[in-house]
Structure 1
Amino acid sequence: MIRDILVNLAQGTDKDVARDFAASLAASFGAHLTGLTVAYEIDVPPFYMGALPTDFIDAQVLENQAAADKAAQGFTAAATAAGVTHDVRTLTASLGVAASTFADMSRLFDITVVGQPDPDRPGPEEVIAETVLIESGRAVLIVPYVQTKPFTPDRAVVAWDGSRAAARALAEALPLLHRTKDVEIFRVTRHEEDEDTAGQEVARHLARHGVAAKVRRLPVSSGEPIAAAILNEVSDQGADFVVMGGYGHSRLRELVMGGVTREILATMTVPVLMAH
């Protein structure tokens, strides 16, 4: 069951889709909701510090703190309106430290909700989302910046490739799938198969958890992008959310995501539950 939810709070916008979706998710499960708001520190290389006026730095610090406070107030209002128990935590840190701290926090929550980066409004969401996905070890639910609906468990697509990450995502998604009316296991394969035994095994496993699922397999040629096939299936099925593994690794603190994962994160139109 989902009893404890963490959400990263966006700043500079009155419409925080991750916050609102997390509130509806918490209301559906009767879960406690925790929001994290960050007063971002100014990350200036030492050799530039002397060139910046002290009053400019002080003003920026105050502005960032005000943005964090406003996000906290918006969270409190949204959680109260949703009728869920809640608390808000405030962190003062650089983006890198904030992302790592958020990932550490998420290990003690059942699910973490973050917003998809909006290409028209650059912000910390991309770093936050990738860090928590790769470092937390728990389920991460990414909400698209165009999301308008609350949590709606009518239809779900489980993108299954047999990987460790896909298995983690499936296990973490079970509480959501138990609430979902129509579950499809979607397999993208690079060649024809006589029988999709892998998909049927996933359906068997879900059935023993009381989740009925249908299986669909789509063979694609080597030149066709897998991410596009998944997103097309989501659109065709009118799915409300997707479950899939998130692939990536960290090298010299620069996150490098797998191609399918990165493409999904960039072009998703419905919430995606990922685990690594």
Structure 2
Amino acid sequence: MIRDILVNLTQGAERDPAAHYAAALAGAFKAHLTGLAVTYELDVPPFYMGALPTDFIDQQIRDNEVAAEKAAAKFTAIATEAGVGSSVRTLSASLGEAARSFAELSRLFDLTVVAQPDPDRPGPEEVIAEAALMDSGRAVLLVPYVQKPPFALNRVVVAWDGSRASARALAESFPLLHHAKHLEVFSVRRHDDDDTTPAAADLERHLGHHGLSANLRHLVLGSGESVSAAILNEVSDQGADLVVMGGYGHSRLREMVLGGVTRDILESMTVPVLMAH
């Protein structure tokens, strides 16, 4: 069940797509929505501080405070318009500290929503999203920075590779999958890969015990085609409203940076993606 949702509030943008999407989602599930507004502290090495004019530092601090206040006010208006119960949490911290705090906070929410980083407007979203995905222990729902349609689950696709991360993403997505009108589950592999994904029958059995039916497919990569490209093409072909996926890639080392496929999806996603590490 989804009854408690957390969203990181985007600052400095005309529209906060994550807040709008999270509010619509909260309305659909009759969930409470909490927005986190961060006043980002200046992260300047001490030996540089003396070279910066006091007036400049004071103005930057005030600008950051105003940005957080505006984001909080905008969020409250969005939640009120959506008719959902909401609250705002505030935090004053450096970007690194804010990311760690957000990941820790996420552990006590049913679902965490973060905006996709906007390449044309550098901001904290990438660091926040990575920390939540890698360190919260929960799934994270990433919303495209160009997202305009409200929350909908007409068609959901699940990218499945049988990994721990895929299993976690699938398990945490069940409340959402039960609202999907059409469910597509697919695995991706190369021609020369051993078929190590669990048998389709087992996956179908597991979904069936949860009252879910899905179209299960295997996608074989074409020559020179990447896993991320195959996923994005499938999403486009299916006209999906949501993608559910774990971490793809061949590395078995846990890194505090996103893997290649995950980063590709994060950079190129055009619909919301529920990810788990």
**Structure 1 pair 86–53 and aligned structure 2 pair: CA distance change class (3 A):** same
Instruction: Give the superposition deviation at 1:196.
Output: 7.8
Distance 2:94 2:47 in 1: 18
Query: What's the TM-score, normalizing by structure 1?
Result: 0.95
Aligned residue in 1 for 2:78: 78
Is the contact made by 1:200 and 1:215 (CA closer than 8 Å) also made in structure 2? no
Aligned residue in 1 for 2:176: 176
> Quick check: 1:237 aligned with 2:272?
no
- Between stretches 112-121 and 186-195, larger displacement belongs to 186-195
Is the contact made by 2:170 and 2:245 (CA closer than 8 Å) also made in structure 1? yes
Is the contact made by 1:152 and 1:240 (CA closer than 8 Å) also made in structure 2? yes
Distance 1:233 1:170 in 2: 18
> Quick check: 1:28 aligned with 2:16?
no
Letter in 1 for 2:199: A
* Aligned residue pairs, count: 273
What secondary structure sits across from 1:150 in the alignment? coil
Instruction: Give the superposition deviation at 1:62.
Output: 0.7
Aligned-residue sequence identity (percent) comes to: 67
> Quick check: 1:215 aligned with 2:220?
no
For the aligned residue pairs, the C-alpha RMSD in angstroms reads: 1.8
Looking at secondary structure, tell me which structure has more strand per residue. Answer: 1
What secondary structure sits across from 1:91 in the alignment? strand
> Quick check: 1:102 aligned with 2:102?
yes
Instruction: Give the superposition deviation at 1:139.
Output: 1.3
Letter in 2 for 1:165: A
Instruction: Give the superposition deviation at 1:93.
Output: 0.2
Distance 1:262 1:222 in 2: 21
Instruction: Give the superposition deviation at 1:13.
Output: 1.3
Aligned residue in 2 for 1:257: 258
Letter in 1 for 2:246: G
Alignment of 1:90-239 (within 5 A): 90-191=90-191, 198-221=199-222, 223-239=224-240
Distance 2:225 2:195 in 1: 21
Q: Could you give the per-residue CA deviations for residues 82-101 of structure 1, whole angstroms, max 9, x where no partner exists?
A: 00001000100000000000
Q: Could you give the per-residue CA deviations for residues 110-169 of structure 1, whole angstroms, max 9, x where no partner exists?
A: 000000001000000000001100000111000011111111010011000000000000
- Between stretches 203-212 and 261-270, larger displacement belongs to 203-212
Distance 2:266 2:184 in 1: 20
Is the contact made by 1:196 and 1:217 (CA closer than 8 Å) also made in structure 2? no
Aligned residue in 2 for 1:50: 50
Q: Which runs of 5+ in 2 are unaligned?
A: none
Alignment of 1:2-17 (within 5 A): 2-17=2-17
Distance 1:238 1:138 in 2: 26
